[in-house]
Amino acid sequence: MSQKILVTGGTGFIGSHTCVELQAAGYQVVILDSLYNSQKSVLDAIASISGQRSEFIQGDIRDAALLQQVFKQYQFQAVMHFAGLKAVGESVAQPLNYYDNNVAGTVTLLQAMQVADVRTFIFSSSATVYGDPQTLPIPEDHPCSATNPYGHTKLVVEEILANLYASETNWRIARLRYFNPVGAHPSGLIGEAPQGTPNNLMPYVAQVASGQRQQVSVFGNDYDTPDGTGVRDYIHVMDLAQGHVAALRYCLANEPELLTVNLGTGRGYSVLEMIEAFSRSSGKPVAYQIAPRRPGDIASCWADTRLAETKLNWRADKDIQEMCDDAWRWEGRQSN
């Protein structure tokens, strides 16, 4: 009998790619998603990639009665928790909505797990918890801070998980701090599908390359970086998905632990380097203009990846060209 994993937010960007990798690794997947920021058709796409249909429950992680029923119906080995809201600007405008979804929703989920005695939890945290980094690369013991409500929700949940582990040491918890996930499945069948104007660089660049938008605004070229534009650790979403499988395997095979691990490549690329790489993938220049800095942005950010390598035996191996090639293939399917 293969092991069953509950994946909240499993029809979203990172969740869908992780479902594919979980199925490839022999796990059975049950997805719980409200479809607030994703489409039901993603389930068909996952099935055509993996040849397996995931079970799907449309619902909200804040619905305690539903969760109780789901945990009664299935015996899960673990929960991977992707469901949540992630737009920094929106979190400033709607803080209560962010705390409700990301913090209260996670507490409701953890309570349901506690009652059902399911105590393996993989959490989507973010490099945003490092604030403005004091050292590069950033190790996991770097001090944490947040400059916006979204970042605070990640910090608060990390803290809740630490408190929970301190009170009940039979939990296996992984707090995975993602850097900048980009790219898509190489089939072009699943990828990132932002609603409205993309907030993040790569989906915006993809829409310029496909002619949906005129040009990218490069937010600042006077940072203390080699070309003056912001530097980030972009990680291919398939590498990230495999990082989740590695974390799950680690948690299930080892003694209970509170694990905190960076998932990044350990290398940074500038905005201009990413635009150039995308131009190569799409075969056409991506128009851009230099614009003022975006408030709250930092100059540079990249991960210290040693802990992921030693603990999880995992490292990201896809380069920026592969990230852009795959994102472009996905974009082509979207815009046709």
- For residue 94, give every residue at least 6 positions away whose Cβ sits within 8 Å of its Cβ, in sequence order, or none: none
* Least distance to ligand WQD, CB of residue 210, Å: 15
- Write the single-letter amino acid at 319: D
Taking residues 298 to 317 in sequence order and writing x for each that binds ligand WQD by CB under 6 A, - otherwise, the string is --------------------
- For residue 117, give every residue at least 6 positions away whose Cβ sits within 8 Å of its Cβ, in sequence order, or none: none
Residue by residue, DSSP assigns 155-198 as HHHHHHHHHHHHH-TT-EEEEEEE-EEE---TTSSS----SSS-
* Least distance to ligand WQD, CB of residue 78, Å: 22
Taking residues 34 to 63 in sequence order and writing x for each that binds ligand NAD by CB under 6 A, - otherwise, the string is xxxxx---------------------xxx-
Is residue 150 flagged as an active site residue? yes
Return the residue of 90, 273, 297, 319 that touches ligand WQD, per CB under 6 A.
297
Residues between 104 and 133 with contacts to ligand WQD, criterion CB under 6 A: 126, 128
Residue 288 binds what, of ligand WQD, ligand NAD, none (CB under 5 to 8 Å, by partner type)?
none
Neighbours of 47 (CB within 10 A): 16
Q: How far apart are CA 116 and CA 131, in angstroms?
A: 36
Looking at 150, 234, 269, 288, which residue is catalytic?
Answer: 150
Return the residue of 23, 91, 101, 229 that touches ligand NAD, per CB under 6 A.
101
The burial of 186, by beta-carbon neighbours within 10 Å (0-12 exposed, 13-18 middle, 19 or more buried), is given as middle
Could you tell me how far CA 304 lies from the centroid of its own chain? 18
Q: Judged by CB, which is closer to ligand WQD: 43, or 85?
A: 85
Return the residue of 230, 243, 264, 266 that touches ligand WQD, per CB under 6 A.
230
| 266 lies in the binding site for ligand NAD (CB under 6 A) | no
Taking residues 123 to 162 in sequence order and writing x for each that binds ligand NAD by CB under 6 A, - otherwise, the string is -x-x------------------------------------
Tokens of 230: 């912001």
Q: How far apart are CA 202 and CA 199, in angstroms?
A: 9
Residue 12 binds what, of ligand NAD, ligand WQD, none (CB under 5 to 8 Å, by partner type)?
ligand NAD
Q: How far apart are CA 81 and CA 105, in angstroms?
A: 10
Q: Are 159 and 14 in contact (CB under 8 A)?
A: no
**Cis amide bond preceding 137, omega within 30:** yes
From 3-11, 45-53, 211-219, 251-259, give the range in contact with ligand NAD by CB under 6 A. Answer: 3-11
From 46-54, 84-92, 213-221, 264-272, give the range in contact with ligand NAD by CB under 6 A. Answer: 84-92
- Write the single-letter amino acid at 174: A
Q: Judged by CB, which is closer to ligand NAD: 165, or 234?
A: 234
H or E element, residue 98 = helix 95-98
Tell which residue, 7, 9, 14, has the closest CA to residue 192: 14
| 15 lies in the binding site for ligand NAD (CB under 6 A) | yes
| 207 lies in the binding site for ligand NAD (CB under 6 A) | no
Backbone angles phi, psi at 90, to 5 degrees: -65, -35
β-bridge mates for residue 174, sequence order = 122, 259
Interface with ligand WQD by CB under 6 A: which residues?
A: 86, 88, 126, 128, 180, 199-201, 204, 216-219, 230, 232, 271, 294, 297
Catalytic positions: 150
Interface with ligand NAD by CB under 6 A: which residues?
A: 8-9, 11-15, 33-38, 60-62, 82-86, 101, 105, 124, 126, 178, 181
